[in-house]
Amino acid sequence: MKHVTHWIDGAPAGTPERTAPIFNPATGAETGRVFLADVAQVDEAVAAAARAFPAWRDASLVKRAQVLFRFRELLAAHKDEIAALISAEHGKVHSDALGEVSRGQEVVEFACGIPHLLKGGFSENVSTNVDSFSIRQPLGVVAGITPFNFPAMVPMWMFPVALACGNTFVLKPSEKDPSASLLIADLWRRAGLPDGVFNVVQGDKVAVDRLLSHPDVKAVSFVGSTPIARYVYETGTAHGKRVQALGGAKNHMLVLPDADLDLVADSAVSAGFGSAGERCMAISVVLAVDPIGDQLVEKIAERTRAIRIGPGDDPASEMGALVTREHRDKVASYLDLGEGKLVVDGRENLPDGDGFWLGPTVLDHVPANSRVHREEIFGPVLSIVRVSSYEEGLNLINTGEYGNGTAIFTNDGGAARRFQNEVEVGMVGVNVPIPVPMAFYSFGGWKASLFGDTHVHGVEGVHFYTRGKVITSRWLDPSHGGVNLGFPTNR
């Protein structure tokens, strides 16, 4: 059985005083133990990052970018290996795991442009013989706390940008699928990143709480469920830290009657059941505007029944197991509520063995005020809510608790334009079911899907991990002499 350690100061670290099990979701078997950091181990990682900060901050922009370029090459070369680690601990199929590494790599590629991204402004002669310019400087030690569902991509929303800006980093990955973080740490070492610049502490609430209160941690990026995101935001800011905390989601796809229903059904099924619905941008509700409901449900059901579920490492599998037994049971408990009409029941025809299986499930005529519609289920359950108009559908989206992603499917440009303007959601797709922004834009939701005011990666990521400074300078000569107590104004 493997042991997943911390990574501190350029090397594996820690002792197994407290550990948690790691499972293979496809078999249900325990395959390893992950170390759970105590306060002293978190302090050790933060101290290593703090020691490494001055030299890394002073490394030239070109030098930092060169390390990122080398990391990008190593990441690309080891993509398969990282994907296999993810699949074995998360349960998602290999091709899906490869996809998440590729999306993370795009953030590395964005961060390689840091010399350009950190260019400030310069104004000559703001007053006679006086110039002004702006610069952005790193914060120091910053931390990332990440969820189980994207063990490579979500950390890579954070650390490529943070490191490129000159910060040092402590990552606290999910304890459910921690192995990818160690391989990534080793790739940084091989890329030539100085020891201590990137560290990993494995752990649970104990590690999170220490990161949130440690005086040397200047900023915290968090991605996870809404209750913990709210807690991290409130606790981190109360300790004077800059915090961005991304929370849960319940994403709707609004389908207008003029849409191509075959394309809609393909998109709804792909976005609903990819990664067994354990994606924060998964489509979990289809809002079918009358009169297309019956026809659309039939097409969705037909495609859903054809999905092949099986182990993530079997190339024939399209959908893998859920991450843990507890999570599978929680998702399945929504089916026991009896809300809506079961069209495809994911509790039937499951693979043999003790894997954490639940098949793709379709529920039709789900009431708008039901728990199934309102709550984040985070599993392979696709609800269809029937609505009579665009306005009714829009209202359901806008009165929901979350505002992460949404999509409209229509061939009417005017309706799509109205939707993108009126919907209260951070990421909007027009005939695109999972509108995850590219690395050079920023990712983040509204309402209970994000606490804080900065989204991740893109230019907002650069702003989050830097502080602005404006310098006003004058090079004196004897003609500038003389005392003047007035408020400085332009001359």
Residue (177 or 364) nearer to ligand NAD, CB: 177
Compute the distance between CA of residue 287 and CA of residue 46 in angstroms, rounded to an integer. 47
378 binds ligand NAD (CB under 6 A): yes
- For position 403 contacting ligand NAD by CB under 6 A, the verdict is no
Instruction: Quote the least distance from Cβ 229 to ligand NAD, whole Å.
Output: 7
Asked if 246 touches ligand NAD (CB under 6 A), the answer is: yes
Q: Of these, 5, 167, 404, 466, which contacts ligand NAD (CB under 6 A)?
A: 404
Distance CA(269)–CA(300), nearest Å, equals 6
Sign of CA dihedral 300, 303, 308, 312: negative
Using CB under 6 A, which residues numbered 29 to 68 contact ligand NAD?
Answer: none
CA distance 422 to 56: 44
- Active-site annotation holds for 280: yes
> Quick one: 223 or 256, whose CB is closer to ligand NAD?
223
- Which element (helix H / strand E) includes 303? helix 293-305
CB of 456 vs ligand NAD, minimal distance in Å = 8
Residue nearest to ligand NAD (CB): 224
Could you tell me which stretch among 31-39, 182-190, 217-225, 269-277 binds ligand NAD (CB under 6 A)?
Answer: 217-225
Direct distance between the N- and C-terminal alpha carbons of the chain, in angstroms, rounded to an integer:
74
By CB under 6 A, residue 181 contacts ligand NAD: no
Rounded Cα–Cα distance for residues 231 and 235 (Å): 6
Environment class of residue 432 by beta-carbon count within 10 Å: exposed (0-12), middle (13-18) or buried (19+)? middle
Specify the DSSP element, H or E, that contains 406: strand 405-409
| 5 or 404: CB nearest ligand NAD | 404
Q: Does 406 bind ligand NAD (CB under 6 A)?
A: no
Q: Which of 122, 114, 155 is nearest to 138 (CA)?
A: 114
Considering only the stretches 146-154, 181-189, 329-337, 383-391, report the one whose residues sit in contact with ligand NAD under the rule CB under 6 A. Answer: 146-154
Cβ-based neighbour number of residue 191 at 10 Å: 18
Q: Which of 280, 287, 309, 462 is catalytic?
A: 280
Tell me: does residue 147 bind ligand NAD (CB under 6 A).
yes
Q: Which stretch binds ligand NAD (CB under 6 A): 23-31, 200-208, 357-365, 482-490?
A: 200-208
356 binds ligand NAD (CB under 6 A): no
Q: Which residues does residue 405 pair with via DSSP β-bridges, in sequence order?
A: 427
Length of the chain: 491
Structure tokens at 284: 């979990």
- CA 218, 51, 152: angle at the middle one, nearest 5? 60
Residue 204 binding ligand NAD, by CB under 6 A? yes
Site track 148-167 with ligand NAD (rule: CB under 6 A), x = hit: xxx---x-------------
| Strand-strand pairing, 29-35 and 19-24 | antiparallel
- Residue showing tokens 């901050």: 57
Contact window for ligand NAD (CB under 6 A) among 201-209, 256-264, 302-310, 479-487: 201-209
Shortest distance, position 143 Cβ to ligand NAD, whole Å? 11
Instruction: Of 475, 481, 470, give the one whose Cα is nearest residue 129.
Output: 475
Token pair for residue 405?
Answer: 């992603």
d(CA 481, CA 491): 15
Could you tell me how many residues of this chain bind ligand NAD (CB under 6 A)?
A: 27
Q: Which stretch binds ligand NAD (CB under 6 A): 56-64, 168-176, 296-304, 363-371?
A: 168-176
Give the 3-state secondary structure of residue 293: helix
174 binds ligand NAD (CB under 6 A): yes
Supply the residues annotated as catalytic.
Answer: 280
Which chain residues interact with ligand NAD by CB under 6 A? 145-150, 154, 172, 174-175, 204-205, 208, 223-225, 228, 246-249, 280, 376, 378, 404, 445, 449
